Structure 1
Amino acid sequence: MRRLIFCTMMVMALLGCSKETDLSGIEQELSDLRDKNKHLQDEIDEMKKPVPADPVLLGLNFWAADNATLLAADVKGEIIGDSVVECWVPHVMEDKKLVADFQFVGETVKLNGSTASSRTTAYDFKKPVKLLVTNQNKSKEYTVYVHAFTGLPVVWIETWDRQEIVSRQEYVNANFRLVEDVRTRSAGDVIETGMQIKGRGNSNWAMPKKPYRLKLDQDYPLLGEHKDKAWVLLGNYADKTMLRNSTAFYMGEISNLDYTPKAHFVELMLNGRYQGTYQLCEKLKRSKHRVDVGDDGFLLEIDDNYLPEDAVFRTPNLKRPVNIKSPSVETGSEDYNYVKDFVTTAENALYSTNFTDPENGWQKYMDMDSFVDWYLICEIARCNDAVFFTSCYMNLTRGGKLKMGPIWDFDTAFGNVNYNNNFKTEGFWVKNATWYARLFEDPAFVAKVKERFTYFYNHQGDIFRHMSEDAVYLRHAAAENENRWGTLYKETWPNYDIWGNYTNEVQSMKEWLTERFNWLDYQFRVKM
């Protein structure tokens, strides 16, 4: 600007000079300066314009007034992290074509690519929806999940400072709330307490839907079961029916096994996020109301996935590590030596020349009824881990016999695995495992197996009825779980095949079990 004024003055001075002087160069320079000044002023004006903020979603709600036929109450979404919106509808809801209220900074909101208007546009939120907030050349994407009450009890867990659960060894502090009826929240339906939580499982821990171990601050009788601090949440990620553990546990309940863990289907909300349908289950432990082996008995697990700090031992024939799970004992202690010596003595009797002698053979140390029923449940289900690999539990009372049980971990059973030929309904599996191969050389054991198989075979109606009742009970939960995890219609390790929707998955499991029962019936009744 100053330069322009100076040049103007110079021009005026020159005009006072001789009229014969050539002023064309000065006039061109003056014109150039005017152009530069205009460009400079445009830049200044542009800088003075307000800079638009980055696009961001501030809130998302579904008001009952905007969704009068679908919502009984307002639903307020929670923005978790910077890209997830969780919405919880506290009643059963199959139709999720809802009108949303968006609070945002930006120019437009798009739902799965279509422009949406706040409190105007109805959109189907049955599956996760991509929400995009745009502002000129910038955009911010969110995923909106709308989950509805399914009729199941709901577990809310909030870790302190929303700390992530990343370990199976280290507990994280948290708050626990269990609501049996989300709609009424009547007296006695709500349990709230402090707790600790960590991961659990082997291959299951590597799956997207994690299983967890819970330790409450004090004993509570969750969902009508005996009070205790120790519980687990089973994710059943690989089991698209979510029925396999429940079906096996039912078979355990009608068997001669002393104890089968109680489990209840629940929905899990972890740090504000819906995590799907779980089974809240009693943790296996020595206890009067769980594995009742007295105050000085033991819970054992044949466990190829033991940890370095576990008290384990091996026997000459079994060769698999036997882990003393409960109570906690030190390697080399009196308790440790008692268990190791007893199991070794029992195995020696099993492999002795007079092992069939009911007084001095294997039956002196090993309980016939539990070994038979544990075998049959695992063989009928063709449980992949039951060949004394892992999750094979035994219990021992001082002064008593070694017993099999409780049963555990059947998500890769009932044809739900694509290796070891365990997707087939034909063929023995557990019968060929160490110890059982020897037991089948005893005519008394074989006779008992045949007798007890007939019992289970005759209870097929009850087993299938239990499966059907569970499937109906889970009909809304299955839809919400699929909304969260999307496992149907796609390959999920270690599934053998893809059966489509939830109903087809359940029907496939039923057909597999029917064929399995028929094949075993022919083997035990005709060929053996």
Structure 2
Amino acid sequence: MNEIKNGRKEMNRIIKTIVLTISLSAFTMALGLFVNVSAYDAGDIDRIYITSDTALKNLQKEYVPATLEVVDKNGTVVKTDASSSVKLRGNSTSKAEKKPFKIKFNKKYSLFGMDEGKGWNVLANAFDKTMMRNKLGFDLATAMGVPYVSQSHFCDIYYNGALQGNYLVTEPVEAGPNKVDIGDDEETKDFMIEIERERYESDVTYTKSKAGIRFAFNVPEVPTKEQLDNANAVINRAEDAMKTNRMSEYSKYIDVDSFVNFYIVCEIFKAVDFNYSSTRFFCKDSKMYAGPIWDIDLSSGNASKYFYKAYYDGNDSYKNLHCTEMKWFGFLMESDEFVAKVKARLSQMKNRIQNMYADNSLGKSQISQFTTEYGASFARNYASVDQGGAGWSLMKRYSICDNPKGLELDPQPATYNESVNLLQTWLKNRVNYLEAEWKNTHNNYIDMLTASKKGATGIYLDWYNNGLVDGVEIQVSIAGGKFKTLKTLTGDVNTYTAKKIKPGVKYKFGIRTFVKNGNVKTYSPFAYITKKLTLKKPSFKVKRKGKKVKVTWKKVKGAEGYVVYGGKKKGKLKKLKTLKAKKIKYTKKVGKKYYFKVKAFVKVGKKKYYSKGSVKK
């Protein structure tokens, strides 16, 4: 009897495949997505069949018995578990027509090659028409080194024989081996929290930081008083250190690299809920880490302008920093040392980041790879049921179930290809915007720089140090030459007198502050100013005694020598003698009518710079 039933089940699948193969070509052209429908003959994607006595319309957030059948793209049944269970998951997404699930096997199982686990999230991506945003975010976070990012895998989901569409199966965010590796018993001082701005659930423990950030505890679910007190102490100690804007302080209490990587990924995707919910941090061995990342379907431009008004700058949603609204990252981005790490990491990972949306030296873009590998499944998601699809709409905004205005982009593009192109363009614009924005982000800088004369051979520099400063570096370029370090000053210094300046020569000063963390210095941008002292013209006298004429002059401060000019015609004088700075007289036999001029000079390299000079008879 079972053999007959299994045979009928297999025959039904074959019939569905044939119907879908014939009809899929027409609907994909209307959809704007071009796929190789013939590849679906033997199956083009892994599948999970969920069978339960509980009808889908009656499924709630409590587990009910189910049978799970895992089928690979070749049609091979690789796992059957008749003792498994299923329930709905999610908050606003659970109210959408396309339901997200949580499935649980009887024993730990390596689903689609991912690390073993009993429980798995099955994300519907109902609010994201491309169905790619969560996957792109998880993959980038993994590449960036964000800790404990959930592994994920695209597949088709069937519930009681009916295709539900394309889904993303992911590991749940929880403590344990191969997951968030922190303690989860009553003795542990480790913990994991997530921002929860407003939602209240009676079985969840909440706490607030000194800065007013409200967190919900994920691990432990119900902390003891001792655990809660310890967590509050760790959170506030880290927060206080972040407020100092000094890496030498906050690096004691947070893992800086995890915060840098997490911030870059989250700022790129600009998830609407980043400062509202699902943004997680965990503590391991008394140090705070940022991550894991979660909830990226309403991100990267997929946001209602009417509901998320602050998300937009005019008609553009890719502009403006978003994650600094979360106070911890606001504090950190006021630290030039943190900003410098963000810039360096962005530069290091730029190829990988751009490869999400553009072909480059790493190969075809991820988005192109996804549409190629999973295009038939994406198409089935939006094909009508009588064409063998799941019947979901490209134009309908499914989040209206949770909010009258809707949460996702309004209006939605008419075709799948348009949705994909919009995502690619948005990501490109966002990355370019952030690169320029971060390049020009400086919290510590020199302001109100002035230069004035200090005696005959000194230049007095005065400035204001904006932000933190452990010292100041002064560089100088003389007569257009290369900049060289003139002086490094320690402390919050804001004046300096440059001495032994050569009058008549242009000096360009560059001044920048620095902050120290051990032996590492993080510099502000240079502020520049140019100053030239006047090389005074010598005041000289001409005394005649017979045919001899004696020319004498007063020393000019800063002069390195003098040149005496002479001639019978006032306008046609020639150089008579070059004298060292110690010489202040010159004698010559001349006729009755003879003119003289004396100039002072200084020398830079082989070039001489002269003062002005007056002519005397």
Counterpart of 1:454 in structure 2 is 347
Separation in structure 2 between the aligned mates of residue 241 and residue 88 of structure 1, nearest angstrom: 28
Counterpart of 1:290 in 2: which secondary structure?
A: coil
Per the alignment, do residues 327 and 196 of structure 1 end up closer, same or farther by CA in structure 2, a change over 3 Å counting? farther
C-alpha contact (below 8 Å) 1:265/1:279 kept by paired residues: yes
The answer on whether the counterparts of 2:54 and 2:64 sit within 8 Å (CA) in structure 1 is: no
RMSD: 2.8
Name which of 233, 254, 266 aligns with 2:122: 233
> Measured at CA, do residues 262 and 74 of structure 1 come closer, stay the same or move farther in structure 2, by a change above 3 Å?
closer
Relative to 1, partners in 2 of residues 1:396 and 1:463: Cα closer, same or farther, differing over 3 Å? Answer: same
381 and 91 in structure 1: CA distance in 2 versus 1, 3 angstrom threshold: farther
Q: How does 1:282-321 map to 2 (within 5 A)?
A: 282-294=171-183, 296=188, 297-304=190-197, 305-320=199-214
1:348 and 1:165 map into 2 onto residues whose CA distance is 48
Q: Is the 8 A contact 2:43 2:73 kept in 1?
A: no
TM-score by length of 1: 0.69
State which structure, 1 or 2, has the greater radius of gyration over its C-alpha atoms.
2
The offset of 1:362, in angstroms, is: 2.3
Map of 2:378 onto structure 1: 478
Partner of 1:105: none
Deviation per CA, 1:53-107: give whole Å up to 9, x if none: xxxxxxxxxxx9xxxxxxxx98549xxxxxxxxx962479432399xxxxxxxxx
User: 1:440 and 1:461, CA in 2 relative to 1: closer, same or farther beyond 3 A?
Assistant: closer
User: Aligned partners of 1:404 and 1:491: how far apart in 2?
Assistant: 32
Measured at CA, do residues 486 and 164 of structure 1 come closer, stay the same or move farther in structure 2, by a change above 3 Å? closer
In 2, Cα distance between the equivalents of 1:75 and 1:409? Answer: 39
Partner deviation per Cα, 1:312-369 (whole Å, 9 max, x = no partner):
211121332x122123324x43323322221122223333xxx23444x222211111
Q: How much has 1:396 moved relative to structure 2?
A: 1.0
Q: 2:431 corresponds to which residue?
A: 517
The Cα shift of 1:212 comes to 1.5
> In structure 2, do the counterparts of structure 1 residues 149 and 406 end up closer, same or farther at CA, with 3 Å as the change threshold?
farther
Determine which structure has the larger strand proportion and give its number: 2
Aligned equivalents of 1:369, 1:303: Cα separation in 2? 24
Cα offset, 1:514, TM superposition:
0.6
Question: Which secondary structure state, in structure 2, belongs to the residue aligned with residue 366 of structure 1?
Answer: coil
> Which residue, 408, 412, 415 being the options, matches 2:298?
412
CA deviation profile, 1:195-238 (whole Å, cap 9, x unmatched): 22222112111111111122222111111111111211000011
Identify the range of structure 1 (339-348 vs 254-263) with the bigger mean alpha-carbon deviation. Answer: 339-348
CA contact (8 A) 2:140 2:353 kept: no
How many residue pairs get aligned? The number is: 392
Query: Is the contact made by 2:50 and 2:68 (CA closer than 8 Å) also made in structure 1?
Result: yes
- AA aligned to 1:485 is G
Match for residue 468 of structure 1? Answer: 368
Q: Deviations over 1:121-175 (max 9, x none)?
A: xxx9999xxxxxxxxxxxxxxxxxxx9875111111112354754422x221211
Following superposition, the deviation at residue 445 of structure 1 comes to 0.9
Residue number among 169, 173, 177 corresponding to 2:69 in the alignment: 177
Give the Cα–Cα distance (whole angstroms) in 2 for the partners of residues 482 and 376 of structure 1. 33
Aligned to 1:244: 133
Contact 2:395/2:411, CA 8 A, preserved across alignment: no
Instruction: Output aligned runs, 1:380-419, within 5 Å.
Output: 380-387=268-275, 389-397=276-284, 399-418=285-304, 419=308
User: Is the deviation greater in 371-380 or in 452-461?
Assistant: 452-461
Quick one: which of 288, 311, 320 aligns to 1:421?
311
Cα distance in 1 for residues equivalent to 2:437 and 2:24: 54
Q: Distance in 2 between matches of 1:198 and 1:498?
A: 29
Matches within 5 A, 1:85-234: 89-90=16-17, 93-96=20-23, 151-160=44-53, 162=55, 164-168=57-61, 170-181=62-73, 183-185=75-77, 189-234=78-123
Distance 1:259 1:74, change over 3 A: closer
Residue identity matched to 2:104: K
Amino acid at match of 2:269: A
Contact in 1 for aligned 2:166/2:381 (Cα 8 Å): yes
**Where in structure 2 are there 5+ consecutive unaligned residues?**
1-7, 30-39, 358-364, 384-389, 399-405, 443-617
TM-score, length-scaled by structure 2: 0.59
Q: Distance in 2 between matches of 1:403 and 1:92?
A: 51
Q: C-alpha separation between the residues in 2 aligned to 1:402 and 1:220?
A: 31
**Relative to 1, partners in 2 of residues 1:519 and 1:201: Cα closer, same or farther, differing over 3 Å?**
same
The CA distance in 2 between the partners of 1:527 and 1:91, in whole Å, is: 58
Whole-angstrom CA distance in 2 between matches of 1:368 and 1:527: 18
CA distance in 1, matches of 2:16, 2:201: 42
In structure 1, what residue type is equivalent to 2:236? Answer: T
Q: Is the 8 A contact 1:148 1:480 kept in 2?
A: no
**More helix, by proportion:** 1
Q: Sort the Cα spacing of 1:428 and 1:338 in 2 relative to 1 into closer, same or farther, 3 A.
A: same
> Structure 1 pair 159/184, CA: closer, same or farther in 2 (3 Å)?
closer
Amino acid at match of 1:276: G
Closer, same or farther: CA 469–236 of 1 in aligned 2, 3 Å: same
Q: Deviations over 1:273-308 (max 9, x none)?
A: 211111111011111201112464322211233521
The whole-number CA distance in structure 2 between the counterparts of 1:307 and 1:371 is 28
Inter-partner Cα distance in structure 2 for 1:163 and 1:502: 27
Contact 2:247–2:335, Cα closer than 8 Å, also in 1:
no
Unaligned residue ranges in structure 1 (runs of 5+): 1-63, 65-72, 78-86, 99-123, 128-146
Contact 1:163 1:172 in 2 (8 A): no
Match of 2:262 in 1: 374
Name the aligned partner's letter for residue 416 of structure 2.
Y
The answer to whether the 8 A contact 1:266-1:279 is kept is yes
Please say if residues 160 and 175 of structure 1, whose CA atoms lie closer than 8 Å, have aligned partners that are also in contact.
no
Distance 1:74 1:205, change over 3 A: closer
- For 1:491 and 1:357, the matched residues in 2 are separated by 45
Distance 1:208 1:193 in 2: 26
Secondary structure of 1:409's counterpart equals coil
